Amino acid sequence: MYRLKATVLTFILLGHTVYSDSTRSLAREPRMLKSRNSTYFGEINISNFPECAYTNCITSDQLSPSRLGCVEPELTTDCLCSKAPTPLSCSPEGPSDQDNCWASLEDWFAGECNGSVALIDSSTMPECIQDCVFNFLKNEGCATQTRNCFCILPRNPIVQAATSCYAANCTKKKASSFSPAEWHDNICNLGETPAYDQSGYDSYVTMVHRVRLSMAILVGLISIVLTVIGIGLLWDDDEDDNAGGVACIVIAIALVLLIIVPVYTAL
């Protein structure tokens, strides 16, 4: 008898616990739904959100402010459009993929942010790599040079591309203050990168131009004079002068090879 009562009591208690849990979770639902009805996610109008990314981005909560690295309780335009380095990382397809979901998502993003989307600022890199880097990004599917697209591409190929752009088009032996890896990580982890100080590079390039020009003129003139003297001596009938003539011409050629060539290849 006692046992039966106890069992019934236990059932009632358990039932009550389960019941109050379910009422509590029912009570929580409407509050969640309020800020994410089918039109809005926080401040953001998602009625035109691309279907292909809806599950990945909206249903899965990947666009919540905390996932994007913002502190506001609800998603704001400022967070989505300006602060978050990779707001579209929830995309099921990357920029390099053939599928156009990425493109739809970026179009939606650009429209929703109305032109206030963070771009890769060309002033963050040396002038001599800008065209090359932007061409690389374009080939990878980032036609609009948004930070969002940039940061979603795999890191190493970008760093390698910037490094080889530098090697291909920038003056060689400048002890560079530009670090492609640091540049990439500042943009994608901190959201901003200080402008590259072009002045040091520019004055180096100017110095190289001056050295090249002045050495070419100086050594060129000396070599021409030596060659003329050498030819004069060779033309002379005096056999003894032939050795001197050859020596003059050899010295002229040596000067060009030993001074002009290094000045052009090593700097």
Ligand X SMILES: *[C@@H]1O[C@H](CO)[C@@H](O)[C@H](O)[C@H]1NC(C)=O
To ligand X, the closest distance from the beta carbon of 131 in angstroms equals 4
According to CB under 6 A, which one of 169, 171, 198, 242 is a site residue for ligand X? 169
- List the interface residues with ligand X, window 149-168 (CB under 6 A): 165
To ligand X, the closest distance from the beta carbon of 46 in angstroms equals 8
Give how many residues touch ligand X by CB under 6 A: 16
Q: Closer to ligand X by CB, 7 or 39: give it.
A: 39
- List the interface residues with ligand X, window 117-146 (CB under 6 A): 127-129, 131-132
**Residue 146 dihedral angles phi and psi, to the nearest 5°:** -80, 150
Residue 124 DSSP one-character state: G
Quick one: which of 134, 132, 105, 131 has its CA closest to 119? 134
How far is 183 from 10, CA to CA, in rounded Å? 64
**For the chain, counts of helices (H) and of strands (E):** 12, 2
Contact of 81 with 117, CB cutoff 8 Å: yes
Q: Closer to ligand X by CB, 43 or 241: give it.
A: 43
To ligand X, the closest distance from the beta carbon of 105 in angstroms equals 15
Q: Closer to ligand X by CB, 132 or 234: give it.
A: 132
To ligand X, the closest distance from the beta carbon of 34 in angstroms equals 7
How far is 234 from 95, CA to CA, in rounded Å? 70
Quick one: which of 132, 144, 153, 57 has its CA closest to 106? 144
**With binding defined as CB under 6 A, does residue 199 bind ligand X?**
no
Contact of 150 with 117, CB cutoff 8 Å: no
To ligand X, the closest distance from the beta carbon of 179 in angstroms equals 18
**Joined tokens for residue 266:** 């090593």
To ligand X, the closest distance from the beta carbon of 181 in angstroms equals 19
**With binding defined as CB under 6 A, does residue 114 bind ligand X?**
yes
Q: Closer to ligand X by CB, 202 or 236: give it.
A: 202
Q: Closer to ligand X by CB, 76 or 169: give it.
A: 169
**With binding defined as CB under 6 A, does residue 115 bind ligand X?**
yes
**Joined tokens for residue 59:** 């249903």
- List the interface residues with ligand X, window 7-66 (CB under 6 A): 35, 37, 39-40, 45, 47-48
How far is 103 from 91, CA to CA, in rounded Å? 10
Contact of 77 with 113, CB cutoff 8 Å: yes
List, in sequence order, every residue forming a beta bridge with 40; answer none if it has no partner.
45
Residues, the chain: 267
To ligand X, the closest distance from the beta carbon of 262 in angstroms equals 23
Q: Closer to ligand X by CB, 113 or 188: give it.
A: 113
Q: Closer to ligand X by CB, 205 or 229: give it.
A: 205
**Joined tokens for residue 251:** 């010295």
What residues line the site for ligand X (CB under 6 A)?
35, 37, 39-40, 45, 47-48, 114-115, 127-129, 131-132, 165, 169
